[in-house]
Chains A and B, each alone.
Chain A
């Protein structure tokens, strides 16, 4: 046997493109956030609430990633934000190239915030850098307090945890403290926001953090 030594990262192409995206965001002063969660955790509803709260004070765009349909793009477009829909046609995650292509359809000048709503999936999106400043993982109380332990990579790679649907706690066997402890056991640096999109609880605190546009200020 003869051997060719390579030592190359399998995802090097994605990492290069993600770095290009990051430089574009930085040049335009855009805070880009990669929203990840399982399907139905409430990513889109949190975005709707966020747009209501920040309307008129920040210029916002959204890249929506879904396996099928532009239903999410239709939902968020009502709030006067720029939106580009990516339909992955079966793909389980967004990658940096898809985001780069979507960015070509956005007016980046003057933009404050870019939300990239990933495909609902707690596994695959964990390992694809899109060029975001940080990942925001959304976990809803209905999913159960054990999920951080079951999907550790996602919680390890995220910087912010939004716990959604806290209004449902009285009806569930989900212990908020257990959920938080499980998440912080995986990643003690996680900044946690507890919200209910139904009652609006916690949304102002989350939006105050966004207004600072300072990803290092966790």
Chain B
């Protein structure tokens, strides 16, 4: 349960990426969060809301894309999504697997409101 620390890291990355005078225009921060990242999306969104509320980014929220665990078998080249953490190839039972996705914890993009989006 370290979502608060992760939320602080996200806020810092956004601060470094958006000019200060536009911070109030940040509406959404798109994240990619892998199923192996150890992050609970709801908890992260909650923590982010709490700390963003103390800043100019009051109207910002997280848009989290959850990334499934995908592996590729080194023996038969079969690529498959893993739903039950059974780390063996469903086609040939090999355990020689390369993890293709699932560890992501990335800020992808930031959406800013433009003049016409703003509530007067």
Instruction: Write the residues of chain A forming the contact surface with B, with a CB cutoff of 8 angstroms.
Output: 1-11, 13, 91-93, 123-124, 126-127, 149, 152-153, 156, 185-188
Bound CA span A152–B105, Å: 17
Contact assessment for A123 and B88 in the assembled complex, using a CB-CB cutoff below 8 Å: no
Residue of A at shortest CB range from B97?
A: A188
What is the minimal beta-carbon distance from B22 to any residue of chain A, in angstroms? Answer: 9
Contact assessment for A8 and B107 in the assembled complex, using a CB-CB cutoff below 8 Å: yes
Bound CA span A93–B2, Å: 8
A-B contact pairs, 6 of them (CB 8 A): A2-B111, A6-B109, A7-B107, A92-B1, A123-B1, A186-B87
Of B38, B85, B87, B110, the residue contacting A4 (CB under 8 A) is B110
Q: Which 6 A-B pairs have CB atoms at the shortest separation, nearest pair first?
A: A188-B95, A152-B85, A4-B110, A124-B2, A127-B38, A10-B105
With contacts A93-B2, A186-B85, A186-B87 known, is A10 near B13, CB below 8 A?
yes
Contact assessment for B112 and A127 in the assembled complex, using a CB-CB cutoff below 8 Å: no
What residues of A have a CB within 8 angstroms of the CB of B6 in the complex? 10-11
Residue of A at shortest CB range from B7?
A: A10
What residues of B have a CB within 8 angstroms of the CB of A1 in the complex? 27, 111-114, 117
Judged by a CB distance under 8 angstroms, whether B37 is at the interface is yes
What is the minimal beta-carbon distance from A106 to any residue of chain B, in angstroms? Answer: 25
